[in-house]
Structure 1
Amino acid sequence: MNFDHYKLLDFTRDGRVLTITMNRPELLNAVNHELHQEMAKAFFDAADDMDSDIIVLTGAGRAFSAGGDFEWLGKQVRGDRTPFVHEAKTMRRIVMGLLDCPKPIIAKVNGDAMGFGASVALLCDIVIAADHANFADPHVRLGLVAGDGGALIWPQLIGFAKAKHYLLTGDAINAVDAERMNLISFVVPAGELDAFVEKYAQKLARGAQSAIRYTKSVTNIALRQLFSSVFEAGVAYEGLTLATSDFNEAVNAVMEKRRPQFTGE
């Protein structure tokens, strides 16, 4: 598989391990339209790649992904947006790509994973984070529904009581506490992250690949069933909140470096 056509994702190999790196470090790997589109194809292409068995997903620089790019969000506020039906299709393909990819996907969370970044990380099969990383889904702080996967995956990992707290407030959780609550698989000192992930990925690569892939597929049956109901509703509701005054106010408040004044409209 040739990945040269990707612009914002880098692909590197170490034996049978394929690493996908979100590469917008100057913007903390915030997701714009172009990266959104590339993410929607990447996991399908990685699944078809004959030269790899294990996938590692990470971010360049000091963050995994800071979530949505505010320049992109600002354009949406000004009405400069593609029809939401197209963005909804992209969102579906990203989550489907993660859940349906037969190969194990390891999220190497090298820094903060926020919003979309948190959803993508938590939908991976194994989540290994540096101890300074934070996870949050602050969609509500932008007047948006957590429709890109947060409402799907957080309750499955930590239960509804805790998940509702983090989804309804947008509060962040440190990686150490995230591991304790079973939100993520492992937390390690930042200086040990690369070595830990490499060792873990190679351990999986030495395993019986057919058995590993079928086991992932079976384990994800429940998530795929939820995907067809919870995720579809989440995408639809997020589309509705894009048209609210609160969304406009939240984005403008961030741009103007002030606290938003929500009206519920």
Structure 2
Amino acid sequence: MTRFDRYSRFTFRREGRILTVAFSGNAVNAVDAVMHDELADLFVDLQRDPDSDLIVLTGEHRAFCAGGDFDWFDRQISDPRTFRDIAYDAKRIVSTLLDLEKPIIARLNGAAAGLGATIALLCDVIVADETARIGDPHVKVGLVAGDGGAIIWPQLIGFARAKELLMTGDLLTAREAVAMGLINHAVPAGDLDAKVAEIAGKILGNPRWAVRWTKTTANIALKQLMVSMTDAAVAYEAMSNMTADRKEAVDAFRERRAPKLTGE
């Protein structure tokens, strides 16, 4: 038995020293309680894996990871303790991803939204199918963008653009995301694997420890931001889960209608 056999929401495939890890939930790889639990351990296990030097993170089915699962949202709303109980793991997902020394390439085969977008943007290089979309629509379902979005978006595209996108919840096309510096590359679907392989080959062609410790050094500033911001961000997100507008926003999104918001 390997350290990855216990995972039910991810698949793992090796090719030489490259380990490809794929979200593997429902059709859009929405984050449910099980996936969230596994994400809290995933990057530690990837760091400890002795047989890989580079990680490719992607999605099965038609999405990379399209954010939170709506059945899970319903449970969080009906019993806020379930949201409170994931706070530690929410912080751990971000911290362990930033602590991962091995280079990690996000291969966006489809939509990356909410926590899925945060995870993609915290990777080292982001390569997308040009038809993919990316965004953080936490506010559209009544939540604060507390799982790392408020940390990483301003660092990549500046505060003005980041706050507009975080407060509107709008999604970007991959080409729009490249144009503003949010992600690295957007290519036709047929070229996605070749572009990922090209970048991976260039990285792996360099000395291992020079690469790992260069990444570690570059991540220091992000880790400092994470430490200073995440407790408050997760607390605000938990508070927003208990508002009346949170339930109405989720109900309206599910029913594909305009929400009737009260400000409460």
Match of 1:69 in 2: 69
Aligned residues: CA RMSD: 1.2
Match of 1:252 in 2: 251
Match of 1:20 in 2: 21
CA distance in 2 between counterparts of 1:125 and 1:231 reads: 20
| Residue pairs, 1:1-265, within 5 angstroms | 1-26=2-27, 28-79=28-79, 82=82, 84=84, 86-265=85-264
User: Unaligned regions of 5+ residues in structure 1, if any?
Assistant: none
**TM-score with structure 1 length normalisation?**
0.96
Amino acid of the residue matched to residue 8 of structure 2? K
Would you say the 8 A contact 2:103–2:215 is kept in 1? yes
Would you say the 8 A contact 2:113–2:134 is kept in 1? yes
Amino acid of the residue matched to residue 20 of structure 1? V
Percent sequence identity over matched residues?
A: 51
CA distance in 2 between counterparts of 1:219 and 1:25 reads: 34
Would you say the 8 A contact 1:17–1:205 is kept in 2? no
**TM-score with structure 2 length normalisation?**
0.96
Amino acid of the residue matched to residue 79 of structure 2? G
1:25 positional shift: 4.2
User: Unaligned regions of 5+ residues in structure 2, if any?
Assistant: none
Runs of 4+ in 1 over 4 A off after TM superposition: none
1:80 positional shift: 7.1
Would you say the 8 A contact 2:94–2:148 is kept in 1? yes
Amino acid of the residue matched to residue 77 of structure 1? I
Would you say the 8 A contact 2:146–2:230 is kept in 1? yes
CA distance in 1 between counterparts of 2:134 and 2:200 reads: 22
CA distance in 2 between counterparts of 1:249 and 1:25 reads: 24
CA distance in 1 between counterparts of 2:97 and 2:73 reads: 24
CA distance in 2 between counterparts of 1:252 and 1:74 reads: 9
CA distance in 2 between counterparts of 1:138 and 1:159 reads: 18
Task: Give the total of aligned pairs.
Answer: 263
Would you say the 8 A contact 2:80–2:242 is kept in 1? no
CA deviation map 1:93-114 (0-9, x unaligned): 1111110000011100001111
CA distance in 1 between counterparts of 2:81 and 2:225 reads: 29
Would you say the 8 A contact 1:98–1:105 is kept in 2? no
CA distance in 2 between counterparts of 1:256 and 1:63 reads: 21
Would you say the 8 A contact 2:33–2:72 is kept in 1? yes
1:2 positional shift: 3.1
1:184 positional shift: 0.5
1:83 positional shift: 5.3
